[in-house]
Amino acid sequence: MREIDIVTAINNLRKNRLKFQIDTDSEAFEHSKRLVDRLWPLAAAQIKPGVLHLHLPKVDENAEDQEAEQRNRRNAAIIAKLCIPDWSLLRHDRSKPYDRNRVIDELDAELKGLAETGMYSRERELLADLAKRTGVPVEEPVSKETLRYNRSLSPGSRNALFGNGLHVLAPSSLNKRRRKAKATSHASVPFVRGRKEWRPKQLLTACEHLRDVAAWIAENRGDSFVQVLEDRYDFAGLKASKSSVAPADYSVRLAVAIASADHGDSGTDSYVSNDALAISTSRIYGLYVMAVQRAGKSRAGKNAISDIFKSLI
């Protein structure tokens, strides 16, 4: 068995932890609708046809007509700002003298943040303040998975999805009953179908990091650091999935706690269990183990594991 650096393994797992938080078909559809609505200012501001970048048009410093380059960026910024429903959601540095290029750059940064988080800067501040005052996590307008999927798309694919990605596809079956079922299914929507192709590799990577952490714990059960991990990541508060596929093994359960626990105060080692993420993580990892076992029987490689995994989730 290869040697595992547990600190690096935990860092890798924590960086990928939110990949275990996946949307149902209906959630994917609803959050995709919100995403399209919220990113409309960016979509409207695109100068080049057929693409949708997650930023304003950049100035090509090698172009002969620099005035035209600057004009395109300025016009895109004007269009984008006119499409933003509430300008009070934006952050401006009013301490400095007005400079048009700086203001455009500020708007560009705001729109990049919108594509990254699904929220304007002022919204992020308000939600963070509300969560801090109430002690209860506040649901964000666009799910993390929807945002990640959108960022993974090429500008051309993103433009196509924003054009027709929310349309229910026409059923191909001649059977009326099946036609009706398909017509009302969110699974047939391109924004949802595309995510099902994209999601397995995301989850495969996250599961591999969880496997590494679990393997180290299994090999070092008597190490005092294991008890440190139990205490730090609120193993006692873990509520993992009751699904029949969820592994009951101690090392995997502790790895699930490490992956799913939410960090408390900044600068501390304070964590608290996240039930919803723990349940999803343990179920998905159980399906990953099944995929590995099935692929192993046929001596298949990583691509085959991903295909089997896709059929299970």
Mean pLDDT per 10-residue segment, the chain (313 residues): 87 96 94 96 94 95 91 96 91 81 94 96 91 85 96 96 82 50 71 93 95 96 94 91 86 96 80 93 94 76 81 85
Query: Is 51 a domain residue?
Result: yes
Burial class (CB in 10 A: 0-12, 13-18, 19+), 75: middle
Query: Is 90 a domain residue?
Result: yes
Same domain, 222 and 78: no
Q: Residue 183: what pLDDT?
A: 46
Same domain, 164 and 307: yes
The terminus-to-terminus CA distance of the chain in angstroms comes to 28
Same domain, 160 and 224: yes
Query: Is 126 a domain residue?
Result: no
Classify the C-alpha dihedral 62-68-72-78 as positive or negative. positive
Q: Residue 161: what pLDDT?
A: 94
Burial class (CB in 10 A: 0-12, 13-18, 19+), 114: buried
Same domain, 53 and 14: no
Same domain, 196 and 258: yes
Report pTM: 0.86
Where would I find the H helices in the chain? 6-15, 25-38, 40-44, 66-83, 100-117, 121-134, 144-152, 155-164, 176-183, 190-219, 224-232, 250-260, 275-297, 302-312
Query: Is 125 a domain residue?
Result: no
Strand pairing class (271-272; 262-263): antiparallel
Q: Residue 1: what pLDDT?
A: 55
Same domain, 290 and 254: yes
Query: Is 137 a domain residue?
Result: no
Across the strands, what pairs with 272? 262
Contact 246, 233 (CB under 8 A): no
Contact 84, 56 (CB under 8 A): no
Q: Residue 179: what pLDDT?
A: 47
- The span from the CA of 206 to the CA of 197, in Å, is 16
- The span from the CA of 287 to the CA of 76, in Å, is 46
- The span from the CA of 59 to the CA of 69, in Å, is 5
Residue-range definition of the domain harbouring residue 64: 40-117
